[in-house]
Structure 1
Amino acid sequence: MTASQSEETSTRAGRSGPLWTGIAGILAGGLLIFGHILTWRTPDVEDDDAIREVVTFYSKDSNQALSETGALVLLAAGLAFLCFLPVLVRAAGSRSTVALAGGTVFVVLLMVSAISGNIYGVTANHADAFQVVPETALIAILLLDVAYGGLIGAMVGAAVLLLAIWRTTRGTEVVAVLPSWLTWAALVVGVLCLAGPFSAWLTPMLLAVWLVAAGVVVLLKRS
């Protein structure tokens, strides 16, 4: 292989990297939005009539299928986020280790939340012996609480990642990866993510929008 051919190959590889990572960021954000919208449809287990609502909801085949869809969408969002995470870790500069830890915690707990929050509907959809009755509805309530707890933890991990990226804006190394307006947006979203149970129902959507914007920025830098 000649020197010119080697240089051309490396140039193509350099261009394809930002392309696929940018797409991964946009895909992660889009799937997270879709999956979280499906999560909003689940019954409110804090009501006094929670058992009846759970039985009514999961007795429908359509809602059982939506549970399976929601789990798959959120799991796919986590995998896409993993593909985009190296860009975010690089944006954190000297705090890359902290950012990596926060991003890893986010993905792991997001997947735990996706599985626990939808496994009741998935089981009811595929196991004929499993009956949606008041006795098993208690299991669904427990799993939905676990799912929300996992989501709270996931957003704390996301906050660590976002705040690590913002903190690096005091230096100059982050400019080459993400623009300053996006890092300041990371500060806002990161602080909201720390509100725990008071904000976990909304902050995944804010994080998803931020991921889409970051993915678009990476794609534009390719051109």
Structure 2
Amino acid sequence: MLAWEATMMASQSTEPAPHAEPAPHRDLWPGIAGLAAAALLITGHVLWMRTPDIEGRGAIRRVVLFYAKDSNRDLSEAATLILLAAGLLFLFFVVALSRLAGNRSHLVLVGGTVFTVFLMVAALAGNIFAITVNHSDVFPVVPATSLAAILLLHVAYGAMVAAMAGAAVMLFAIWRAAQETRAVPAWLGWAGFVVAVLSLAGPVSAWLTPLLLALWMLWAGVLLILNARVREGEGRET
């Protein structure tokens, strides 16, 4: 009787978990999210770069002429939604990146979260003037109100500087992980290192580095998808 019970327990212990999630999907969907976030970041940043020059003389006039056009306000509102969506997808993507970073996963998560938060702040601050004008009948585009737009555009740029500082922490952590483990290709680690170094010059480079980060995200997203396909192939062989 005891021998029969021991045999039954051994057979039950070798049965696979009934609700175990297939390993390939762990990186597949985050990889797709990374590709989508990168595409949205590029699109939103290009729209954001259309805002008028707010330095030097004539800034008030340029701001008034820009926001007086309905099409410019509509594009600003679209840029907000695009960048917010990019931030949400990036959070899904950065969790998968943290798994590749090993014992530096906490730095990847912290840096990625800081980037996401300040990206959203930049998206809202840089476009809230256009959104307000579009949806309010008592907030006209005149020289007096354009001063608020100039202030908000400065806040948006400052938030983007902070966002790229967070991204630099994430990229440096992945670069170090690439030196210690084969989970991250060396070329991807070094590419991230270059973007991270450029991001440290935030006040003069924040207009460009989000685009470089988006290109790096495209490569990393493809890597995650390829990893998922490799695991799927190995699972079929076994």
Q: Name the TM tier (shorter chain).
A: over 0.9
Provide the residue aligned with 2:234 in structure 1: none
One-letter amino acid of the counterpart of residue 80, structure 2: A
- Per the TM alignment, residue 130 of structure 1 is displaced from its structure 2 partner at its CA by 1.0
Query: Does the alignment pair 1:206 with 2:216?
Result: no
Match of 2:9 in 1: none
Does 2:49 match 1:49?
Answer: no
Aligned to 1:136: 145
Instruction: Give TM-score scaled by structure 2 length.
Output: 0.87
1:1-223 equivalence runs, <5 A? 3=15, 6=18, 10=20, 13-172=22-181, 175-176=182-183, 178-223=184-229
**Could you tell me how far apart the structure 2 residues matched to 1:201 and 1:80 are?**
21
In the alignment, residue 200 of structure 1 is paired with which amino acid?
Answer: A
* Greater Cα radius of gyration, structure 1 or 2: 2
Number of equivalences: 216
Distance 1:17 1:170 in 2: 24
Unaligned runs of 5+ in 1: none
Identity, % of aligned pairs?
56
Residues 127-180 of structure 1: CA deviation (Å, up to 9, x unaligned): 1111000000000000000000000010000001000110122312xx22x222
What is the CA-CA distance between 1:3 and the residue it aligns to?
Answer: 4.3
Amino acid at match of 2:179: R
What is the CA deviation profile of residues 64-122 of structure 1, one whole-angstrom value per residue up to 9, with x for unaligned ones?
Answer: 11111000000000000000011222222212222221111111111000000000001
Name 2:11's counterpart in structure 1.
none
Task: Detail structure 1 runs of 4+ shifted over 6 Å in the superposition.
Answer: none
Contact 2:178/2:185 (8 A) holds in 1: no
How far has the Cα of 1:19 moved from its partner? 1.7
Tell me how far 1:32 sits from its aligned partner. Answer: 0.4
**Which residue identity is paired with 2:206?**
A
Ranges in structure 2 where 5+ consecutive residues have no aligned partner = 1-13, 230-238
CA distance in 1, matches of 2:104, 2:224: 20
